[in-house]
Amino acid sequence: MDLGLNEEHSMGTTIIGVTYNGGVVLGADSRTSTGMYVANRASDKITQLTDNVYVCRSGSAADSQIVSDYVRYFLHQHTIQLGQPATVKVAANLVRLLAYNNK
């Protein structure tokens, strides 16, 4: 019996962002896999950070989720301290710094 264990299989995540005059549309697949095993067919790879900032996650689900949680917390603190919402640039820099400094 051939189980197809030696055949190629996709392990990647598909995420996309498309800009238009009114904003950005984000999309992502919903499958979380561990090698050939599909661990979850309905995972949410688009995570809200603020009212108007979202992040598309890929890679280790646990790692990308904790980075999102930290960034959400820091952006909330930023908004409280400055009295205005954080910009997309601030959010992107926080993600960049957390990812780079915690390789």
Domains and CATH numbers, the chain: 15-102 (3.60.20.10)
For residue range 56-101, list pLDDT tens digits in order. Answer: 888 777 788 889 999 999 999 999 999 999 999 999 999 999 989 9
pTM: 0.73
* Residues identified as active-site: 13
pLDDT at 2: 60
3-state SS assignment for residue 77: helix
Measured CA to CA, the distance from residue 84 to residue 52 in angstroms comes to 13
Q: Which long-range contacts (CB under 8 A, 24 or more apart) does 24-32 make?
A: 26/54, 26/56, 28/56, 28/57, 32/61
pLDDT at 1: 60
pLDDT at 36: 65
Mean pLDDT for the chain?
84
In contact, 64 and 71? CB cutoff 8 Å = no
